[in-house]
Amino acid sequence: MKRGSSLSPKNLALLACVALSFCLAGKLGLRVVAFVHPSVTPIWIPSGIAVAAFVLFGYRVWPAILIGDFLDHVTTDGFELASFLIPIAATLEAFTAAYFVNRFAHGRKAFDTARDVFRFVLFACICAPSISATLGASLEHLRGNLGGIDLGSRWLTWWLAYGVGTLLVAPFFILLFRASHHRMNGREFGELTVLLLGLIFACLLVFGPLSLSLNKNQVVQVWVCVPFLIWAAFRFCPLEAAGTTLILFGSAIGGTLYGYGSFIAKNLTTSLILLDTFIGVIGTMTLVVAAMVVERRNIECELLGTQSLLQKTVEKKEQDLAVTVRALEVEMTGHVQTKRALRESDDLLRRIGPTTEPAE
């Protein structure tokens, strides 16, 4: 980016949009899904928005992340020390995640190979979230709100929330905005519609009100939803796979929040840990399968391209060989005609012989 262009209207609008999205996502998360503690949610959506913004638009968006998180905390907790420190930690966390993803996982192309998916999960969903979790738990401990036993549990729930939020939200937005996408035909669109309807029905059966009527004995468990994710990963692009994970895990979070599903436990913290572990494992595997399918398709395209190139080369060589053969045939025909003419000339000379008799 050119120097002096950071304050252009386009960039200011981008920063404002990112800051507003971050702040609204934080408000929504604390108001809707904070069922364990007023400041703890099973998924922290702003972490995924922050990482996606850094990867998509570069490190210039750090003021938007900082301001958005600051506004979220100030309007919730007032002007406390945490309202200033936690936004710094959140910005540093997203910056760190994006830096390592760009450096070691090819940035926007992190979901095109299975190896890069694992690296994305390692850096952005496992390592980086420890920054905010450590600072948040430490501040709660310094305030006297957490004892030694609860400190580890709170750190784990925060870490899981930030990591799962990044895993679910960041891949979807990165895949959505990074480039043009495959345009579906009618058959593919119909197949995707059937897939989504089947997934939604399965989610309602496992995590929704239908579990009280059609699934009273809990015969249908959460594993019924997994084949829909594999279906999306094998038959469509990583974007569709990431979208189906959002539907499934959004349903799982909502169902757990309202007392439905397989992750209900007597301890809400245990429910959160079980839910986030399920999301982390299945979400990662879905992205890995989708990336492996992309790799296979790319290899097939490369092989087809190589085959086409070799076929064209062979055809050209055959044409050149045919031209050479024709030229040799013409040359051989000329040699045969010349040899025949010489033979006829020798026969003619032999027939006419010398016409003068020797002198006496």
Q: List, for residues 76-130, the tens digit of each pLDDT value.
A: 777 887 788 889 999 999 999 999 999 999 999 999 999 999 999 999 999 999 9
Is 255:208 a contact under the CB 8 Å cutoff?
Answer: yes
Compute the distance between CA of residue 259 and CA of residue 64 in angstroms, rounded to an integer. 36
Six-digit token string for 82: 């945490």
pTM of the model: 0.80
pLDDT of 230 above 80: yes
Residue 74 pLDDT grade (very low, low, confident, very high; cuts 50, 70, 90)? confident
β-strand partners of 328: none
With CA atoms as reference, report the closest residue to 44 among 63, 69, 67: 69
What was the pLDDT predicted at 148?
60
Q: Which residues contact 18 (CB under 8 A, 6 or more apart)?
A: 49, 53, 57, 61, 64, 65, 68
What integer pLDDT is reported at residue 360 of this predicted model? 47
Question: What does the mean pLDDT of the chain come to?
Answer: 84
Give dist(CA 199, CA 230) in Å, integer.
Answer: 11
Q: 48: which residues sit within 8 A by CB, 6+ positions away? A: 165, 166, 167, 168, 169, 170, 173
Dihedral Cα 210, 211, 216, 220, nearest 10 deg = 120
* pLDDT recorded at residue 224: 86
Beta-bridge partners for 37:
40
* Mean pLDDT score, 183-196: 90
Q: Which residue has the higher pLDDT, 192 or 275?
A: 192
Q: What is the CA radius of gyration of the chain?
A: 35
With vertex at residue 306, the alpha carbon angle to CA 301 and CA 309, rounded to the nearest 5 degrees, is 125
Q: Compute φ and ψ for 106, nearest 5 degrees.
A: 65, 25
* Mean pLDDT for the stretch of residues 338-349: 81
Band (pLDDT 50/70/90 cuts) for residue 268 is: confident
**Residue 155 one-letter amino acid:** W
Average pLDDT on 263-292 reads 85
- Which residue is it, tokens 């929704």? 208
Q: How many whole angstroms separate alpha carbon 251 and alpha carbon 314?
A: 56
Segments making up each domain of the chain, as ranges: 1-179, 182-317
Average pLDDT over residues 20-32: 81
Q: Which CATH architecture has domain 1-179?
A: Orthogonal Bundle (1.10)
The helix (H) or strand (E) run that includes residue 303 is helix 268-352
